[in-house]
Homo-oligomer: A and B are copies of this chain.
């Protein structure tokens, strides 16, 4: 989930200065329009210590007209607050309609801290997250716009920040205490984010290492969310626009989680043959062992057109007994499937205990092709993240071993393969007009993939992003990942 926020995104001072005035003006215009609506806006500013949440709040107060905003830092409880139900302090600071409430810390801070420091148990943590869910759901059903930011730093970057602040004499004892528990916090926060990631109030995970990138990014998200919502609500046309081709994306190198993939990884033919043999042998044995232990496996493949999904799948099926596996190629839904919830057609193919099911494309179509092509409404694909997480949680809970692959290739490599296919008689059927159309939407897909990994790479069902420019590397990595996952999951 956090891997997409450790890519080293940056803005130079010059780039910042070029964007900032326009963004500032646009935000003020959006805020002015907001005041004429009945939409209360709740901005949640949370994240790891050292990520500069205080600076963010200051920046927002500088950018926005302070007459329309209420900022609250939820830190120590006052006597007044302690003597009332815990949510009293949140209720009293809710922004009225047409106003923006900036919640620094908010309702997330205490449950996470209490759980990390062992003050509450699993059941209580679950209950508190459920309460948050209900609270936000209630507000958003009532018309509130809730924008939630989680500011992330990698462990290394957090340590650097803290050391620097120590030198600047700003190092607080609290910071020290928190940084020691980096991994606990990461795990606990990931769970909180996943459990509260609603269609009506989705999370934005922001890479916070570079202040300038961080602030411009949230400014843009806030602006776009305000404008989209105001336009949806009001009948009269407005001057506000969300500029997709904004100066920000032009200036700022548009990194996604795919940029973290070591795409240039190569192997030799000789090494490939050796590795392939090794892992195929292993997988054969493991699939029989899984059968014996009554454990099912689901291996699920997504990837760019021509990324080599089919080839990777064939290297798997080549070594598993044909009685043990089933391959499901996900194409357009049948009539029968269209008459059901989109997850229905995946539920129906869940393997019996002990078998292997391989999906060539999957339920992620909802947040990829259906999103990009507009087949699903933004509300629908936004809530799909939580629906999919819930689905996969049920798979894993029931003992299914789940591997999720995205096979990544570069845009150039795709072009090379497309052309090759067109020239090769026995491959020409594999390239269609649709492939070329999809290729035109490369950047839209890139963002959809990035969001997908952020929202659905969970502790129990992480994504494996596989470098695919060298097909041999991809095939071996897939086999190795399946073997490793099986080994880790089966009783030995």
Binding site for B on A (CB under 8 A): 38, 40, 80, 83-88, 91-92, 94, 96-99, 122-123, 126-127, 130-131, 134, 138-139, 141-142, 144, 199, 294, 296, 336, 339-344, 347-348, 350-354, 383, 386-387, 390, 394-395, 397-398, 400
Nearest residue (CB) in B for A123 is B123
Docked complex Cα distance between A350 and B88 (Å): 8
Closest 3 CB pairs of A and B: A123-B123, A96-B339, A83-B353
The majority secondary structure among interface residues of chain A is loop
Q: Is there contact, CB below 8 Å, between A350 and B84?
A: yes
Q: Is there contact, CB below 8 Å, between B126 and A350?
A: no
| A340-B97 contact given A126-B123, A141-B383, A348-B91, CB 8 Å threshold | yes
Query: Beyond A83-B294, A91-B347, A134-B387: 19 further Cβ-contacts under 8 Å?
Result: A83-B296, A84-B353, A85-B398, A86-B398, A87-B347, A87-B394, A91-B348, A92-B347, A94-B340, A122-B123, A123-B123, A126-B127, A130-B130, A131-B390, A131-B394, A138-B387, A138-B390, A141-B383, A142-B342
Min CB distance A276 to B, Å, is 32
Question: What are 17 A-B interface contacts by the 8 Å CB criterion?
Answer: A40-B339, A80-B352, A83-B294, A83-B352, A83-B354, A84-B351, A85-B350, A88-B350, A91-B343, A91-B344, A92-B347, A96-B340, A97-B339, A98-B339, A126-B130, A141-B199, A142-B342
Q: Provide the residues of chain B in CB contact with A340, threshold 8 Å.
A: 40, 94, 96-97
Nearest residue (CB) in B for A394 is B85
Docked complex Cα distance between A350 and B87 (Å): 11
Min CB distance A445 to B, Å, is 24
Q: Provide the residues of chain B in CB contact with A343, threshold 8 Å.
A: 91
Q: Provide the residues of chain B in CB contact with A96, threshold 8 Å.
A: 336, 339-340
Q: Provide the residues of chain B in CB contact with A296, threshold 8 Å.
A: 83
Nearest residue (CB) in B for A348 is B92
Q: Is there contact, CB below 8 Å, between B395 and A85?
A: yes
Nearest residue (CB) in B for A379 is B141
Q: Provide the residues of chain B in CB contact with A134, threshold 8 Å.
A: 386-387, 390
Docked complex Cα distance between A344 and B144 (Å): 13
Docked complex Cα distance between A342 and B348 (Å): 43
Q: Provide the residues of chain B in CB contact with A91, threshold 8 Å.
A: 343-344, 347-348
Nearest residue (CB) in B for A338 is B97
Min CB distance A137 to B, Å, is 9
Q: Which of A86, A87, A91, A353 has the most CB of B within 10 A?
A: A91
Min CB distance A297 to B, Å, is 13
Q: Provide the residues of chain B in CB contact with A397, threshold 8 Å.
A: 85
Q: Provide the residues of chain B in CB contact with A142, threshold 8 Å.
A: 341-342
Docked complex Cα distance between A470 and B84 (Å): 37
Contact of A341 among B94, B126, B398 (CB under 8 A): B94
Min CB distance A279 to B, Å, is 27
Q: Is there contact, CB below 8 Å, between A398 and B84?
A: yes
Q: Provide the residues of chain B in CB contact with A40, threshold 8 Å.
A: 339-340
Contact of A86 among B94, B352, B354, B394 (CB under 8 A): B394
Docked complex Cα distance between A364 and B350 (Å): 46
Docked complex Cα distance between A131 and B127 (Å): 13
Docked complex Cα distance between A304 and B94 (Å): 33
Nearest residue (CB) in B for A84 is B350
Q: Provide the residues of chain B in CB contact with A122, threshold 8 Å.
A: 123
Min CB distance A257 to B, Å, is 26
Min CB distance A250 to B, Å, is 37
Nearest residue (CB) in B for A82 is B353
Min CB distance A37 to B, Å, is 11
Docked complex Cα distance between A130 and B129 (Å): 11
Nearest residue (CB) in B for A347 is B91
Q: Which of A144, A354, A390 has the most CB of B within 10 A?
A: A390
Docked complex Cα distance between A183 and B119 (Å): 34
Q: Provide the residues of chain B in CB contact with A84, threshold 8 Å.
A: 350-353, 398
Min CB distance A88 to B, Å, is 6
Docked complex Cα distance between A339 and B95 (Å): 9
Q: Provide the residues of chain B in CB contact with A83, threshold 8 Å.
A: 294, 296, 352-354
Min CB distance A100 to B, Å, is 13
